[in-house]
Amino acid sequence: MPRDLCCAIDFAALTRAVEAGGYTGDIEVEIFNQEIWDAPWPEVVARTAEAFDTAVGPHLAASVTA
């Protein structure tokens, strides 16, 4: 996720609502940005994991391991 979009979504509130609803399943990231798709895959994976860890990770009740 581009860094400039990370604050457009209230991940804290969204994550709390999803967890409060009882969801405990997988979490996925969908990439819609062609610039990211065109980058080398190792860079895409690292960038996506870092952005997820920064934007969503702190709000998860359970820790996430890769």
Segments making up each domain of the chain, as ranges: 3-59
The predicted pLDDT at position 1 comes to 47
Query: Which of 18, 22, 29 shows the shortest CA–CA distance to 52?
Result: 29
- At 4 the pLDDT is 54
Give the global pTM: 0.71
Q: According to the model, what pLDDT value does residue 55 have?
A: 87
Q: Which parts of the chain have pLDDT scores under 50? A: 1
Burial classification of residue 2, based on how many CB atoms lie within 10 Å of its CB (0-12 exposed, 13-18 middle, 19 or more buried)? exposed
C-beta of residue 47 within 8 angstroms of C-beta of residue 39: yes
